[in-house]
Amino acid sequence: MTHKVNLRKLASRAVYDIAIKQQPFYDVPESESLHPKDRAWVRYCVLGVCRDFIALEAILNQILDKPLRSRDKDIFCLLLVGLYQCRSMRIPDHAAVKETVAAIPAKKRWARGLVNATLRSYCRERETLEALINQSLVTRLRTPAWLYERLRDAWPQWLRIIIANNRIPRLTLHINPAISREDYAKRCRELDIEVDFCRYSATGLRIKGAIDVTELPGYNEGEFIVQDEGAQFAASVLDPSEGARVLDACAAPGGKTIALMMKAPKLREVIAIDNDIARLERLQENCERCKVTPSIVHADAANTLSWWDGRAFDSILLDAPCSATGVIRRHPDIKLLRSEKDVARAVTAQAQLLTALWPCLKRGGRLLYVTCSMLPEENTEQIKAFLARTADAKLIPIDATFGIDVEYGRQILPGHGFMDGFFYALIERIG
């Protein structure tokens, strides 16, 4: 590199894209030629700001005399980044303030005094400001009010769920069943990478500490995929037979597709569908790395006339679009991107997908419905309604040790066994 990149500037730009432009955060763009440690720093900072956004915003509202203008939201996002460093990162206050001020664009020199004064005010009055914002339960829990209310009404364990969603998760791998998980762990330990085994998934491995995934052994050889333990049960629950024709609807970015094909390499055909072309490109890249070759289709799975050839599937995996309220700890930008209206839209889309895909399943075939949601209307209520309106649908109990039985499927609560939150329901087409 010929110049020093201001990491705070990159972080604040990403926060701006999330908070102001309402764009999901995937990672720091590859176009930013960063050292892996710098890339990890930016990622950590951005996700931290998203995780603590409600508290950070409340603190700034206490310090600032008046809200910043709409055209100065970039400065607001930079203040969030600076405040997060002072509040939650192991960076001396003076260094955090200095580097954040240095990230201000030249065309907004006027903001230097504001950013400097605001961050120094927090450093001086830290205890008072923290006490003020902690008077609000929602701010203390760092959770949007609408989501707090939904979780409180749905789950006796609501507080445990929220606390788990606010924790920083460890990197979790799904090891290719063709190799030994024990051998892979041994290779990691030989490289001084600390690991331990997941409790419920026989293919799961958790990494201790921060590491760029591309630096793990076997990355280029496709020996693993990055996948939370809670997401690793789709292949074993669906359990398609050898020679089966399988549909993975809403497949991108491909984790469950790959896991399915790694577990059952003798499937006759796997069709992976998604309507997001950018996410399909990631699916293609992931499949190539892991050396599996599904038939990839860019289409709306609910519009079966546009892609289905009329041949029935033995098994269907429907990883349905949802509120993603069970994976907030890994994707804290969800706190900024989701609203109650999004939940209602997801419920409608889920029902449409179930209805549209059901005729594509052969008699005796099984459909596995999966979400990463914690909300009953997307899970138990959705399946209950589908069974009520579908005469040839029969719920199959899932005999498993993971999660809890919730009558119409199994629900994994965030934090249980260090997992994210997922819902699974298995349905057979009878007759």
Tokens coding 117: 């004064």
For 390, counting Cβ atoms within 10 Å of its Cβ (0-12 exposed, 13-18 middle, 19+ buried), the class is middle
Given 77, 290, 360, 372, which residue is catalytic? 372
Q: Are the C-beta atoms of 259 and 372 separated by less than 8 Å?
A: no
* Three-state DSSP class for residue 17: helix
**What single DSSP character describes residue 213?**
G
Closest alpha carbon to 370 in 411, 340, 339: 411
Neighbours of 67 (CB within 10 A): 11
Segment (H or E) for 85:
helix 73-88
Helix (H, G, I), strand (E, B) or coil at 234: helix
Q: Which is nearest to 161 in space by CA: 347, 320, 375?
A: 375
SS (H, E, C) 397-431: CCCCCCCEECCCCEEECCCHHHCCCEEEEEEEECC
Q: Is 188 a catalytic residue?
A: no
* Catalytic residue annotation: 372
